[in-house]
Structure 1
Amino acid sequence: MKCILFCQDNYAFGILEPLKNHLENNGHKYLWYVRESILADFPYKSENHTTSISDLESYKSDAIFVPGNEVPHYLRGLKVQIFHGLAGEKKGHFRIRHYFDLYLTQGPYFTSKFNSLRKKYKDFDVIETGWPKLDIYGTNKDLYKTEKENLLKSFNAKKIILYAPTFSPKLTSAPFLTEEIKKLASNKEYVILLKFHPLMDQSWLNIYKEIASEIDNIIFQTDKNIIKQLLIADLLISDTSSVIYEFLLLDKAVITFNNISETILWENSSNYSELTTLVEKNFTIDTFAKDRKFIFDQYHPYSDGKSAQRMVETVENYIKKNGVPEKRKLSLLRRLKINSMFKK
């Protein structure tokens, strides 16, 4: 099977890595598409990759794995949506853009909603597989254990706290927590990691970089994949971000500010000045520990580390049954949008 790993944003690399490993280990061919503006961040430059859509047309793939919202309709191959997060409450998560033949969902919460939409639109299929980015939870959760121990030892600290806000201007807590993060860092038992979304406003990145340069137990993280920070942190601070669910699936406590989810099964507050108090509270009493089972069951009930394998095998079987689409029918407006976006 010939596949395209389609990367419009650099967060796609960590999502697609387990897929490319499975493809490689099982004799499948693959070509990375990397948007030119993120090529500098691409970690697999020694592998077969391109920034050219015309190269993708010539490649004539069987399947295109996309952890984003758009893909050129005129490319050959089954167009597979594999998603870039778990925040179903965010605007657009369940929007049908009609670019995809197959939606591979993370868990029952997502599957049921997309199946309802499938009945309405009747131009795509839905199969639940789990999400490949989280395969490491089932295969190597302790990968960074020694690194965590060394980090705590170097600061003579006891806990690692991760601050990972969303980039959305309407939802981000970044403008409101600068002084509160400083106050939290006055407790030297904490090491605070700052991890920002690739699309975060540069002005806020600069402000938090400055804070990290001034306070030794605050560390500004530059990794493109947040997985390491999720695995080593003891508690997460955020707002309305998919990273919340990724962290909850590790069975650890979360604190958010002004989260918009309809079902909040963690500590949420509208008072930014409560940050230090809430951190101390959640390290003392894990009030929401029992509630996290709902997240496990509904959002991602797969702990076997085989979601990437399920995705590839699902696509193989789907193509055997239905064949490989040469192109996808779209409205004129959608075609014009894609043509403009990918300069056709």
Structure 2
Amino acid sequence: MLLRRTAAAALAAFSALAIAASPAPATRPAALYGTADPTYDGVWRQSYALLALHAADTPPAEGAVAWLAGQQCADGGFASYRADPTVPCDAGAEDTNATGIAVQALAAHGEDFAAKRGADWLAKVQNPDGGWSYNPGGTTDADSTGVAVGALKAAGTDVKSVTTDGMSPYDALRSLQIPCGHQDGGAFSYQRPGGAGAPAANAKATADAVRAAEGAGFVVEAPAQDMPPRPACEGSAADAGAAWLVRQLGAGGGYFSSGPQAPDFGTTADAVVALAAGGHLDAARDTYNWLAGRAEGWSQDNPAALAQLALAAYATDNPTRDPITRLSALLPPPRQRAESSGGDSAWWLAGAGLVAVLCLGVLLAGRKTRI
């Protein structure tokens, strides 16, 4: 009886040790950058991170690209996040923004087939005016159209050839631009206003439209030399939009704001890349310098924000590695995870050895008692 009670106690001790040594259940997919709930931005932030790492010539963590590719739906589109990729996609959950940025990231990392399928999906959901809305079938907006243009370009598609009723993506963008001679001429509106309403200038829409009008995606290489912006409303639609960005940045202290005393770091970073896409290196650098000195709090542990900072640095030929270092730390490389697993195994082995010693002692003690 004493033997059984002692053995039971030893097994109970081992069970407690095993439970303590077991790793805590994962709160997010292991290959996904960032710890925040991915429901609404999983594909977006993963794609942004992979684009920034590619631009910085830094390998992503193991499984990161495969995780993104595994989020693709059977028809080629992407939803914001699929908790269970084995469950077929709800077509209504797919959107052009997640698909557009995922196509760019997958193409950058050599996943050409997946990128082509995503680009084909975008072509199928193009609006009659040549542009795209966030969800297929909605009203065309400059942001979604800009993401789609970058995706088509990354997948090797001739953007001008992707048309509906003879309308191309560039036609859609031009229809969103405020004409010269009007207040905010050269800027782009987010969407065309309904009825008799006048289009309203939108900084993010303008940055996205300028980048797309230059045929660029989220990754823009720094121009070899500076090309000063042209005077307002001279040159192309992209030139006019860039001139408006420079004027607004100058008037606003070098950055865009989302309210009184509230800098809009994301739109400011978008403007840096857009200006670089147009060859306006000096203007892009001025804005980047403002951004780099003040955006640490905004980008803290935020994969997409860190990626935006890294891509703004890349677009201005700034050698800083800080955003990439911080981004990489959000998903440890395989070696570090393996070491952690090895530590857990060591605890298991130590616990098993302890139980073996205890059981052996109990058996010997039992024999002595019976003798």
TM range, smaller chain? under 0.3
Q: Greater CA radius of gyration, 1 or 2?
A: 2
Q: How does the TM-score come out when normalised to structure 1? A: 0.26
Q: Report the TM-score when normalising by structure 2.
A: 0.24
Indicate the structure with greater helix content: 2
